[in-house]
Amino acid sequence: MFNVIALILALAGAVEESSAPRTVSELGNGVWQIRFGTPEAFTPNVFRECEPRWEALDRLPKDALIPFDLNGITGDIRASRTVVSIPCDEPDSHIYGFGLDPGAFDQKGLRKWLSVCASVVGKTGASHGPVPFYVSTRGYGIYVDTARVPFVHVARLARKDAPAREPSADQAALSTSEKELYAACKAQGTRQVVFDIPGNTSGIDVYVFAGPTVREAVQRFNLFAGGGCMPPLWGLGLKYRTHSNAMEEEVLRLAKSFREMKIPCDMFGLEPGWQTHAYSCSLAWSGERFPHHQAMVDQLWGMNFRVNLWEHAYIHPTSPLFAPLKDHSGEYLVWEGLVVDFPDPAASKLFADYHENELINKGISAFKADECDRQFIDDTTPFNYPYFTKFPSGIDGDQMTQLYGYLYQRSILSAFKKKGLRTWGDVRATTALAAPLPFNLYSDAYEFDQYLRQLVNASFCGLLWSPEVREAGTREETLNRIGMSSLAPQMCLNIWFMPHPIWEQYNRAKNEKHDLLPKEEQQAMAGRIRDIANLRMSLLPYLYACFFRYREEGLPPVRALVLEFPNDPGVYFIDDQYMYGDALMAAPFLRAAHERSVYFPADCAWIDFRTNKKYPGGTKQTVQGDPGDVPLFVKENSLLPVATPVERVARDTIFDLTVCVYGDTPAPMALIEDDGETYNYERGQFNRVILAWEKGKIMVTREGNFPETRYRINAWKKIQGE
């Protein structure tokens, strides 16, 4: 694979720049658009789900400066490619972004290939969520609005007429090692970030987002996208996906076992076997495996489980959608199924209406939109329809590949919006401006550190990445994976190839052979999963408030430390710790470890969530714990509401809270009360429950017009820190 990658990347060599007709517009506070020529008809901005939240953007700092002249951004539209160059004469800066990217964190000096891809392809940026957006620690962000597959040279090219840069002290001596000779990051000359976009394009838009730090630049980008999504309250609980060939009696038996063992769970996901045909999809219930599927769905609702159905958007000839979509699809089949032409409004509506009438109206609350990504070039899996595929809408095949998952989400979401209901789904691929879409990117194809890196990288680009838990080599790694999943946007156990629940046997091979753990070990494993899920449920009101802030302020609920502490150089390379909202920092154990080194950002002191041990900021410490117990630290001078765990979230659930007070001058925080299910909050039907503590004086203020009470505050607890 390495040689193939090298060959592809070699196509993205150095380019000369000229210029195209351009216009510069200040769109809002700290947001500029630079237009070269006439933009194409199919870009993420054309298909945006929401208009920018200009009023929210106005609340961010005014008059933030861009550290270069906007006129220095150039665009060159050529016969076979478009080239965009952005000044980057920043020897000491760090650059983050470009989507999920399982292979790299600090992107400076790298060459990116921003292709939708289901495989790990080194540090190229190929991922389930490639996004042509980056931020610099100099305090700005750049977004290039394209659905093509760009190569990006990240501060590694310099024009021949650019002024030379004085060599640094470590470069003055003669370099002779291979590493030194080929260190592109240290090459001389004035650097640029260059987007090399293949295809005969008519023009392109470049957007610039001011800081003053990377934090505000990311907020502006997310608010420009329309603000972050607001999940239903029930979506933040545990999702358990059954094995692929489960039948309805097995599903019901497993659902009952969750309630009997008091393991919190809010959603059951059914994998491909629910359909009569899955590759491609019939989108019709299997009468053999689910002869009484409606009664089963009704029973699951009666136990307060929501139902999520796996599918993909390649439509089998036996599907009721095949004939209506035949004239609204691409010219090539995938697994004998039609590729839906989602840019065609008629195709998207046919797809959405079917979901509404046949599935949502009958009790389905969410969908898992699978296989909308692309396998790498050396994989012959037949869902790689070619880039030259023609579609009735006129979109090119490469643009469709980049946009397919994004447009797929929008179609399904439109069916829920029509009914006024929120959803919380899964998707295998997406692109830029996806922040308003209530879907979590997922996969099982990664090593532990890659899962974690994607969780952190997602926070730069308006994406939600939620590691699935499927299997692991040992009990310890299984629990550590479950622990990390519990502190992601979504907690999901996806046991699609195991006929028995994960607590009965976590080893896949043994599970498939029905070689189960002894009963006492099963009970112990179930107890640990219950403990981890209970932690998630205890933080659910806090997490819900974080998502509301994502919507209103563009600040992601899970975020890289550099977004929280942009002035602390100690966090610039940390890709295995992250903030979980404003108050909590998570530092997951990797693989089967139960010990690790943790850096404590210098801005404040930190208190261990479980032991109350206090750690000074600006230090690195070794911490230990039990597998599954992610090291979790509270930022000093924070209020943290902790709920008594519930087994599921119902429409009338009231959470009993203890407000933990860390430090002597904690900042106030606001919880959000609403119905948790509809879009009424967009019409102002919600409360802000403002918690404050000042010198021992407790203050709780409710502001809003939601008539019900979602939170009952039973106690306040001052945490000293030991």
341 and 391 in contact (C-beta within 8 Å)? yes
Give residue limits of the domains in the chain: 2-225, 233-547, 578-722
pLDDT, tens digit, 9 for 90 and up, residues 75-134: 999 989 999 999 999 999 999 999 999 999 999 999 999 999 998 889 999 999 999 999
| pLDDT higher than threshold 50 for residue 705 | yes
Superfamily for 2-225?
glycosyl hydrolase (family 31) (2.60.40.1760)
Higher pLDDT, residue 468 or 631: 631
Helix (H) or strand (E) holding 148, with range, is: none
Query: Which pLDDT score is estimated for 20?
Result: 72
Half-sphere exposure (Cβ direction) of 607: Cα atoms closer than 13 Å: 21
Tell me the pLDDT band of 183, cut-offs 50, 70 and 90.
low
Question: Is 568 within 8 Å of 601 (Cβ atoms)?
Answer: yes
- pLDDT at residue 173, as a whole number: 56
Predicted local distance difference test score (pLDDT) of residue 21: 81
pLDDT bracket for residue 181 (50, 70, 90)? low
At 128-162, the pLDDT tens digits run 999 999 999 999 999 999 999 999 999 998 888 77
pLDDT at 376: 82
The stretch 542-567 carries a mean pLDDT of 98
As a whole number, mean pLDDT of residues 425-441 equals 98
Rounded percentage of the chain residues whose pLDDT exceeds 70: 94
Q: Kindly report the pTM of this predicted structure.
A: 0.95
- 56-72 pLDDT, tens digit each: 999 999 989 999 999 99
User: Looking at the domain covering 233-547, what would its CATH class be?
Assistant: alpha beta
Same fold across 233-547 and 578-722: no
Residue 17: pLDDT band by 50, 70, 90 thresholds? very low
* The pLDDT value given to residue 1: 40
Tell me which of 604 and 473 has the higher pLDDT.
604
CA angle 607, 612, 616 (to 5 degrees): 35
HSE (side-chain half, CA atoms, 13 Å) at 212: 6
Q: How does pLDDT run across 253-273, given as a tens digit for each residue?
A: 999 999 999 999 999 999 999
Positive or negative torsion for Cα 546, 549, 551, 554: negative
Closest CA to 152 of 112, 117, 115: 112
Identify the pLDDT of residue 12. Answer: 43
Fold of 578-722: Immunoglobulin-like (2.60.40)
Q: At what angle do helices 397-418 and 345-358 cross, to 10 degrees?
A: 40
* CA nearest neighbour of 379 among 119, 127, 5: 119
